[in-house]
Amino acid sequence: MEPGGLEWLLVPMQQLVSWGAAGAMVFGGVVPYIPQYRDIRRTQNAEGFSTYVCLVLLVANILRILFWFGRRFESPLLWQSIIMIITMLLMLKLCTEVRVSNELNIKRRSFAAADSKDEEIKAPPKRSYLDFDLNYFWHWSKFTDYVQCVLTFTGVTGYITYLWLDSSLFVETLGFLAVFTEAMLGVPQLYRNYQNRSTEGMSIKMVLMWTSGDTFKTVYFILNQAPFQFSICGLLQVFVDIAILLQVYLYSYYPQKPVSHTAHPASTKAL
């Protein structure tokens, strides 16, 4: 085959590989949550999944999108953040619906203010308040409250970014916060498992996908001499993933006595 003919064949192949890699980058991050979503929907039990994982990923990806306005990185990474935000909102919607349907406590919690119609079914509330108490934050009774919280965070951070967009120090710090926040992804699940002394209800497939994906990313960062903080945060993610897998082994072969939640209301049990 002549060189020109070979080049005619290789160029489309390279383009297809490039598109495939971009597609994997955009949608690969949401794959670990598919088995978890299906398990929750099938069992109608969200106790094994920490919704703070959704909080971490929402914050990290919102910050990454804002970082894009200061430093235009590859568009697949931008689309990955958008797809991840949509996925986390869907996870929150399902978990909220399942938890509220299984909750015996009639008390309703909201992001903005108490819903008087719900609160006064049995007795009027003693006081009206905002649910920014750490005991109830991110444990609201309606999906719309989570959306309001996300929009508020996006609006505040977006306005601050607009004001400081010309500062390279601010932009670099914003990028670091996005990467570091994502590195903390597994910490809520790690703490949730420790609190419950069990990994029951958690999708092991999800954690295995976390581990393989984070390991691949970290090796990529190191081999391509990415900025130092990327490699450190990647190693931190892998360490947390391995710790969760160790919990799976520990709590499976050496069952722990579950922690009593009798001193807490039902609405505060889940993270």
Average pLDDT over residues 120-138: 53
> Mind giving me the DSSP string for 116-162?
HHHHTTTS--S----S--TTTTT--S-HHHHHHHHHHHHHHHHHHHH
* pLDDT score recorded for residue 45: 87
Tens digit of pLDDT for each residue in 167-176? 989 988 998 8
Six-digit token pair at 150? 């996300």
Burial tier of 213 (Cβ tally within 10 Å: 0-12, 13-18, 19+): middle
Tens digit of pLDDT for each residue in 31-83? 888 888 998 999 888 887 888 889 989 999 999 899 889 887 777 778 888 99
* pLDDT score recorded for residue 154: 96
* pLDDT score recorded for residue 101: 86
The residue with greater pLDDT, 50 or 244, is: 244
Burial tier of 84 (Cβ tally within 10 Å: 0-12, 13-18, 19+): buried
pTM for this predicted structure: 0.71
Average pLDDT over residues 14-20: 70
The sign one gets for the Cα dihedral 194, 196, 198, 199 is negative
* pLDDT score recorded for residue 258: 53
Please determine, for residue 121, whether its predicted confidence score (pLDDT) is greater than 50.
Answer: no
Which is nearest to 92 in space by CA: 130, 49, 129, 134?
Answer: 49
Q: How confident is the model at residue 92 (pLDDT cuts 50, 70, 90)?
A: very high
CB 86 within 8 A of CB 69: no
* pLDDT score recorded for residue 137: 85
